[in-house]
Chains A and B, each alone.
Chain A
Amino acid sequence: QGHLVQSGSELKKPGASVKVSCKTSGYVFSTYAIHWVRQAPGQGLEWMGWINTKTGNPTYAPGFSGRFVFSLDTSVTTAHLQISSLKADDTAVYYCARVDSPYHYYAMDVWGQGTTISVSS
């Protein structure tokens, strides 16, 4: 059926980096893409981009290139989101979600529980 489990909450200082993991299970890792979605406190959902789990090729939404990096560790069927040079407005819940194809566009059918990243001095 599929299950995504994310790493725990993090409190970071401005300028630091953070890496969020999204451990997948219950399905063939390379047959589903992994997407990332951000939700700032009290706000709506914002699509950050996705990574092709067959090729490892990432695609970033405008505003999420440069400091944001999607990666994979296929040996443990895990996707990662790394954010560098953290700013206060990176404070948000970050979700991973899967899509039923590494190439085609479908809805996000299974979501991780979310990882809260708080950035404060």
Chain B
Amino acid sequence: DIVMTQSPDSLAVSLGERATINCKSSQSVYNSENYLAWYQQKPGQSPRLLIYWASTRQSGVPQRFSGSGSGTDFTLTISSLQAEDVAVYYCQQYYITPWTFGQGTKVEIK
């Protein structure tokens, strides 16, 4: 199985500041595309797709969310943290089954 490891487990960022979450896969998830997605889960809600193919923003997702990286190392960046961005963020590979998620990164307001 591909192991997805996120860092940090949690972070506190001031409003308007940048938040950066890292995700590392135990093997490459690249094959013409990077089969890597990012999801946001707010308390009591279902996960929401933010980014797919590592860097493509899902329709309706604010531009402050961006994804980057390739192969085994990926990053989700929130350029200017808003109060509504408080959530747990998960990376996920859909390259091979079983699909696997990172353990999640909790983002809070400092």
Contacts and interface: CB of A to CB of B under 8 A. Distances in A.
A30 to B, nearest CB: 20
A45 B92 contact: yes
B100 A47 contact: yes
A59 B97 contact: yes
Interface stretch (A12-20, A69-77, A100-108): A100-108
B74 interface: no
Interface of B: 1, 35, 37, 39, 41, 46-49, 52-53, 58, 88, 90, 92, 94-95, 97-104
Sorted nearest first, the 9 A-B pairs with minimum C-beta distance are A107-B52, A107-B37, A61-B98, A47-B99, A111-B46, A45-B101, A105-B94, A44-B104, A109-B49
Nearest to B90: A45
Given A47-B99, A106-B52, A106-B94, A111 B47 contact: yes
